[in-house]
Structure 1
Amino acid sequence: MKPAPFDYVRAGSVAEAVGLLAAHEGAKLLAGGQSLLPALNFRLSAPGLLVDIGRIADLRRIDVTATMLRIGAGCTHATLLDAPEIAAHAPLIATALAHVAHPAIRSRGTIGGSLANADPAAELPACMLALDATIIAEGQAGARRIAAADFFTGLFETALEPGEILTAVEIPLVPGRRHGFAELARRHGDYALVGLAAAAEGDAVRLGFFAVGHAALRAPAAERALADGAAGIEAACAALAGDLPPHADPEISAPVRLHLARVLLRRVMKECLAP
């Protein structure tokens, strides 16, 4: 199939893109297009206008301050994989991105597109939960800051308001932060059957599970158990029965998914809590 007819405008700035969204009801943003273009081709989406934000320079910046790593929403996966700022301050992101699809997809897909799409099997939303990130959105009312914990609201749903653009992600810099990541997929590059991103700061651990429900999610009871460090891993595994919603699909049953989540938790915690 081919897309339904649409108009196309390349925006030169975030302000221009916000104005175009406000002026054209139902307009869609085009950045990397790795999720949008298949939807257009299958006519699952039929906007009257595409607003291309892929060449807005401000959306492709990576900035580091004394306390914060700021990643522009237009940065591609490939850019982040190679960026020294990511390797130095948020290696969890680079580790996760190595599992995302294949080089052709990573060269076009963007961090903002992945987060705004909110695919429950995607790696980056879980990383944002683990890293305690803040999502920056801009609309006609100005910029708005949204905690990652509040951003992913359901299946392909986020806290973005109509007309808002996800412009950046901010990650606090925490000395000594440790991370771990693992996912299970039928083949490398396939969507994960179960995945986990984790970050440890002192005695506190944040777990970001993906492909276990309708959105990336934390596991608060398991996190509390992990306050005991390695001694709490088995208690954390037991707590996952209450933290993770029963979730079955044609690929895998709910009991098997829970079992695999526990396997990944043990694996990731050994990495994350290693001295």
Structure 2
Amino acid sequence: MSDPVEQLLAILDLEKLEEDLYRGVSPEFGWQRVFGGQVIAQALAAAIRTVPSERACHSLHAYFMRPGDPAVPIVYTVDRIRDGGSFTTRRVVALQHGAAIFSLSASFQKREQGFEHQITMPKVPRPEDLPHGEALEATILKNASPAVQRYWQRPRPIEFRPVILKHYVSGEKLEPYQHIWVRCRGEIGDDPVKNAVVLAYLSDMTLLDTALFAHGLSVFDESVQAASLDHAMWFHRPAKVSEWMLYTQDSPSSSGGRGLTRGALYALDGTLVASVAQEGLIRPRRG
């Protein structure tokens, strides 16, 4: 399967092994470990399979325990914690080689009307006004490390248009925040389940970068050991991931070998669709 969007949708369409038991596979990227966003999205997809369609996920909280092995399938077990009058709770554990590599708790709610407010989307250049395609890649890859070049040259299901490129092309210590326009490279329609799981998939992208800006480093730096430790996400309103969204991120703190990052995802019209928080391992690589 050569189309990266079709491949993404295929790996998020889990195989049902038994009631509350599912199996997912990884794409053949040649990575040493499974991308964290893939495990988040697959676990969410497993949980959704056990919840009535009229209830949508409003939040998830997850922990990464071990690196995932991309060479073997991941088995997801779903525990039906509670089915209440308004809310449904599920717990998902991802297993490989007989051990847990990841756990996720997700809460679902029947659709309701209530109070409405949101903070305003930052004013930044729109995606059509930013470098993209060959111009963007040429700027980033001009003096980039081999790891960065491999990342940007590989076909990806998610397109990025960073508002600021300085951290890609210099080792200068910068303020720990960034704005990136993101979208799925293909049309996936209005299906709320597909949009939710792809949104969860892309929510893990670029966050740890933000925590390293203050130190003049990136997750591609060979001197840095970086990995997601936990991930939380709140789904405020329906999203259409085939349309541009602004992913605004900041990192309020790093300490103890960990960096904390926060993110907000806005639709092109300024609607806040989701909020994200993540703590990741960021420390000098030993040896």
TM-score by length of 2: 0.24
Query: Highest relative contact order (Cα 8 Å, sep 6+), 1 or 2?
Result: 2
In proportion to residue count, which structure has more helix? 1
TM-score by length of 1: 0.25
In proportion to residue count, which structure has more strand? 2
